[in-house]
Structure 1
Amino acid sequence: MRSSGVVQSLKSWASKLHPQLPLNAKESQRLLTALTSSFRQQLDQAHPIRSARKEEKPTKKEQAVPNIGHRDLHASSADSADRHLTSILTNPLLAKSYGTTKPIRDYAAAQESFLREPFQDTVTLLEEYQEHGAATVPIAALCLEKYISQLDMLSDPDRAKVVSERQAGARTLRWLWKSGLHDSEAFVDDTRLADVLLPCLVEEDHEDIVWKWLVQDIRLGPQDDSHYDILRKKKLYWYRWKGRLLRSMISAILDQQCRPTKSCDAALDAIFRAESVQANISLVPTMVILKKVFRDRTNPFRYTDCAKFDRFLRMGTAGGGDNIYAVHWMATLKQYHPTQPSGQPYLDMIREMLSEHRSVHDFSDVFLTQMRTTKHDTARREFYTRLLRTAALLEVEGLHSDAKWIASLASEWYPEWDPWTEHNLQRERRSLSNWDSVRTDGRSLSNQEPEESKATHQPVPFPTFV
């Protein structure tokens, strides 16, 4: 007995020094085979299978009736049990393989949960994960994506009711702040969660919470000055989260408030407010989004206030002076003015760049070379389209000789599309019809209230609500 106790102590001590390693693939297969054989053997002992009867020639009566014997039933049960055991032992969610981390397994489990119950309260699932310390930014993004897909299947009244009752955006933001992940790189540098969280907050009328969040002085990244030699660069990196939040919020405002009214006024008011608060909010990501939506040939925001549009133009050229990039910004957007699109500014820019007396300090040479010789297909298509748009607008303005000259430049600089230049020019001419008589039905549409007003919510203070 004493010898046995000593041996057991040595084994226990050795196991602490050298813990048992995970099974390799060969050992796992042996264990699976042994368990399957043992399970099948115990099943056969509990339900013995009778010996097969000697084959006899069946009578006509027996041939007419299918013979489902006791042996067939047990054989089927054994096969079913075999498949069931194999599925359990080989389930990837239960596997503990190398390179598979716990967050990845938790995310896979969340996906499987939505497959089983696609209409569950998704944020409740996030809160359950939080109780077990397993909630992550990717899981939160997944939950809100599923929540939005659920909303998209509802009628407008049902959607408003669900949004008011669940408050998924506010609950997710509360979790984000309580968990301390609001200033983590997992949230800031992967905008997947922000792109679904901000639309929820906007739909729940919690924009004020976002503005209070945006003015918080939260710096992300290294705080020492050795990494950057310019303060502006440091601030852009520290406060990059603000520009990304603003972009996501204004994208949501465009979809939810601007498209139904065919006016960008609400989105422009938001970016003007961000400009005025002076809280190190980068406006560039949002300005790129707005520039893109204004350049839609269908003119979906034709009721945008002209004064606000002109102010947005000045934002893009502020501090640029005669810099060619600021001039190009203004000339491009002038082509899509809500009521008075014009090709004259772009024509003037081209003439200035080709002039012998152009300024040598505004990067005209660099920009012209890039415009004519770039190999990037998207950039070439962009410059080509700008020239054709200019030609179409100049025709409308009665400058036919200038229009022909600009169209010839498009064919000369971009010969790969020369055979289709006339066809593409005709398309630009047709698109200009979207700007004709856009004010004939008045501007009352942008000031109308929706048929069903949004549900009112109790104000949620920030950041105390978290």
Structure 2
Amino acid sequence: MVVRTPPLSSLKRGFLPQIHHPLPLSKRESQHLLESITTSFRKNLDKEHPWQHVETTSHTPSTPSTTTSKTALLPNTPISSHRPTDRHLRAILSNPLFSHSHDVAQPTALTNTKNPFDVFDSAVHRGLMNVRRAAGFLAAVRSHIVAQSPHHVRQRMAQSGAGLHVIQWLRASGQENDLHFLSDGALIKCIIPFMYAEGLQEVIWVWLARLAAQMGALELEKTPGKVSAPSLAKLVAALMKETSESGSDAQVSLDNSYSALSRANELLSPAHSRAAAASIRESWVNLSWASTVNGWQRPKPSAPLFDSFLELGQPFKLQLDLAHLELHHPTTPSHSAAVEYMRLKHQVADDVADMHLTARSQRRMICLALDAADRLKQVGNTDEASLVERFLTKMCESVNLGMLNLQGRDSFASELPIRHSLLR
């Protein structure tokens, strides 16, 4: 007798449960189930994200720019929200990857037909945003701010929140993990001013510390698009530039720049890295120029900070810079090093004629001589003043500044500072 084998479908019905069978729930039971799931979800989030008191002060100094930049992300968020689950969900929903909306008002009142914030968020939402386009977004926001008014630019940059907007995208997209975006000079040039205006300087220092931790790899990296030694130099230079500016027409002292360079020097340890040494040296040279050639435009700096800056530059052995800096010491200016430098370099004017010096070096030489002459006139040292006059005369003749030379002869007897009388 042949026994028939049962079909597979009958076996499934006998052994496997009906897992997709709809639950026979009433409307009331469905609502109760939904509330139970919601309560369980909230309890789990409360356990993972414990309750915290609302912070009334930020970790950074409570400046208007910092407060505005940090709250600009959530313009419609009530400050009184206490639940950790609410904060957690809001953090997710405020992520740039999910926050594309044309109806939400942006923190900056941009009146153009194409709002840069809308364009940025749209590109992020569609997966088209990259580092270069982020730089273009920041440039567009800054251009609009400057076009509205050339005054209080830094304050209005802080109110825009554009820098924090880009940083959020960098973090959400994972690009901050490897810092390769720092290889794009255009982005560094655009984002650092916004970060400084918005009070986000510490984020820059965190990036710098991470670069310092991988200094060996930076010196060997040659691949385009990856962070390397030039990226480090650009980041330090951009930071130094912002510390020396006020964001308005008023000139500020270089105290913040001296402090920042000292901090960068301690962080990067240039004695153990050629890339770090080159970066610190470049920033020191630029700051030396601002302290001397353009120093007369700024308030006097702090003497201790100036001394530390002068000491930091000693290993570079740039005698012209060091001599010029001693002339500009805020409390104890000295002309000795400058006069000795001009005495030893009596052939330098011939070198100028032979084009051995750049236009920048020519200007530095002339400013050194003018500042030394001012100092010698103040102390009444006529003997060394004649040496400086001959040096200045030869320099001016070499660079075809005959008119400047004739005025310089008479200005030694003037009551005005020599450089001011020549450049007025």
**TM-score band w.r.t. shorter chain:** 0.5 to 0.7
Structure showing greater Rg: 1
Match of 1:406 among 361, 384, 388: 388
2:81 corresponds to which residue?
none
Match of 1:285 among 275, 279, 282: 282
2:366 corresponds to which of 373, 378, 384: 384
What corresponds to 1:337 in structure 2?
329
**Which residue is equivalent to 1:305?**
302
- Specify the code of the residue in structure 1 equivalent to 2:200: H
Q: Which structure has more RCO (C-alpha within 8 Å, separation ≥ 6)?
A: 1
Distance 1:429 1:198, change over 3 A: farther
TM-superposed deviation, 1:340: 4.2
Deviation at 1:343, TM superposition (A): 2.8
Instruction: Give the 3-state SS of the residue equivalent to 2:244 in structure 1.
Output: helix
Judging changes above 3 Å, is the alpha-carbon distance between structure 1 residues 430 and 191 closer, same or farther for their aligned structure 2 residues? farther
Does 2:373 match 1:394?
no
Assess if the C-alpha contact under 8 Å between 1:129 and 1:135 holds in 2.
yes
Deviations, residues 306-341 of structure 1 (Å, cap 9, x unaligned):
111111111111x24xx4xx2222101223223444
Counterpart of 1:163 (choices 158, 162, 165) is 158
> Which residue of the partner structure matches residue 338 of structure 2?
346
- Give the TM-score of the pair, scaled to structure 1: 0.52
Deviations 1:134-171 (A, max 9, x none): 3233322222122223334369899858735x421122
Unaligned ranges ≥5, structure 2:
1-109, 271-275
Could you say which residue in structure 1 is the equivalent of 2:121? 127
The whole-number CA distance in structure 1 between the counterparts of 2:286 and 2:156 is: 31
Q: CA RMSD in A?
A: 4.0
Instruction: Show the 5 A alignment for 1:31-42.
Output: none
Whether 2:236 is the aligned partner of 1:246: answer yes
1:374 aligns with 2:359: no
**Deviations 1:162-220, CA, capped at 9 Å, x for gaps:** 735x42112212323555656687752x5232122111111111111111111114769
Structure 1: runs of 5+ lacking an equivalent = 1-115, 228-236, 355-364, 435-466
2:293 & 2:369 partners in 1: Cα distance? 16
Q: Could you tell me which residue of structure 1 aligns to residue 264 of structure 2?
A: 274
CA shift at 1:411, angstroms?
A: 2.2
Which portions of structure 1, spanning 4 or more consecutive aligned residues, are displaced by more than 4 angstroms? 154-162, 177-187, 218-227, 257-261, 367-372, 431-434
Spell out, residue by residue over 1:344-389, the C-alpha distance to the aligned partner (whole angstroms, 9 max, x if none): 21101223446xxxxxxxxxx9x88756643544433332332233
Task: Summarize the alignment of residues 182-193 of structure 1 with structure 2, pairs less than 5 Å apart.
Answer: 187-188=182-183, 190-193=184-187
Cα 1:207–1:223 shift into 2, 3 Å: closer
Matched, 1:262 2:243: no
Say if 1:250 and 1:267, in contact at 8 Å, map to a contact too: yes
The answer to whether the 8 Å contact 2:158/2:198 transfers is: yes
Please tell me the residue identity of whatever aligns with 1:292: W
- Residue matched to 1:118: 112
Aligned residues: 292
Determine helix, strand or coil for the equivalent of 1:147: helix
Q: Relative to 1, partners in 2 of residues 1:177 and 1:279: Cα closer, same or farther, differing over 3 Å?
A: farther
Kindly, what percent of the aligned residue pairs are identical? 17
Residue 134 of structure 1 aligns to a residue whose secondary structure is coil
